Amino acid sequence: MDPLPSTDTIAPALFIGHGAPFYALKKNPFTPTWVNFMKTVPSTAVTAIIVVSAHWYEPGLAVTANERPETIHDFGGFEQALHEVQYPAKGSPSLCQKVAELLFPEKVEQSLDWGYDHGAWTILMHTHPKADIPVIQLRLDQSKTPTQLFELGRKLAPLRRQGVMILGSGNVSHNLRQARFDMFGDTETAADWNKRFTNDVQKWMLTKDWESLQNCGKHPDFKMASPSPDHFLPILVIAGASEASDQVKVITEGYDAWSLSMNSYAFVPQYGKAETKVEL
């Protein structure tokens, strides 16, 4: 692969706690914080987006190689309006190829069987409502350890200097079996284990304590916070995609439904003038 050109305007790397699907349409305390953050990012900084979603969690690496990925409504039991939402962003086969080159010699499947799941579009319809930026999804590889996912993020990090925003979608704590459905939208009340784990993860993120983050499974509250690790693991990819000079921004703080953590984070550079971006 040819050397990647440098640019003064580096795209951010984000981890967003996406929460319940209905927040795509319902007024809530969380989505406005994502919108407000994106207003601080220069419009020239993001020319494409890679999403690593908790909802595409299977063994092996893959990318959505469709020219026009479909909008997937991978949930049940919600209002019909939510099932009718479409996010019509185009894909980018050329970006898929760049990802495959960066991750070589690992094999990256060019998938035509997946599209934008709700871990992607429930965020993007707020942060990029015009759907005018190419988006691909990268499958969250179930066979990889937290350390391997962190290193995967390291390999993808150079794309940020070509205007590619890397977005992880999940939740720091996500235990639906413990959820209090009468407490959706309550940002302050949460289980003690949720608060302890969320607070410790925040410390790791703000201090860039990547050793502790990679050893997340040793935390005494991890199994309660993440009975299945799929919602937590995207944060490892995003941390790996950070640069040493990045500022860490807390986009959202708070809880939901007692057992979810909605904390969201961004790694952002000191923005300067825009230069040449990758052609997609």
pLDDT at 6 over 60: no
Residue type for position 219: H
Res. 202 pLDDT band, cuts 50 70 90 = very high
CA distance 156 to 177: 34
Instruction: Mention every residue, 6+ apart, whose C-beta is less than 8 A from residue 177.
Output: 227, 259
Give the pLDDT score at 271.
58
Write the pLDDT tens digit of every residue in 164-174: 999 999 999 99
CB 2 within 8 A of CB 35: no
As a whole number, mean pLDDT of residues 3-10 equals 55
SS3 231: helix
Can you give the pTM of this predicted structure?
0.93
Give the pLDDT score at 270.
72
Give the pLDDT score at 76.
82
> Which bin fits 71, alpha (ψ -120 to 50), beta or left (φ > 0)?
beta
* Average confidence score pLDDT of the chain: 93
As a whole number, mean pLDDT of residues 182-208 equals 97
Task: Specify burial of residue 159 (Cβ count, 10 A radius: 0-12, 13-18, 19+).
Answer: buried
Give the pLDDT score at 272.
43
Provide, rounded to the nearest whole percent, the portion of the chain with pLDDT above 70.
Answer: 94
Write the pLDDT tens digit of every residue in 214-231: 999 999 999 999 999 999
Res. 207 pLDDT band, cuts 50 70 90 = very high
As a whole number, mean pLDDT of residues 179-203 equals 97
As a whole number, mean pLDDT of residues 15-22 equals 96
Give the pLDDT score at 215.
98
Write the pLDDT tens digit of every residue in 67-85: 999 999 998 888 999 999 9
Class of domain 13-268: alpha beta
Give the pLDDT score at 77.
80
Give the pLDDT score at 147.
98
Write the pLDDT tens digit of every residue in 136-183: 999 999 999 999 999 999 999 999 999 999 999 999 999 999 999 999
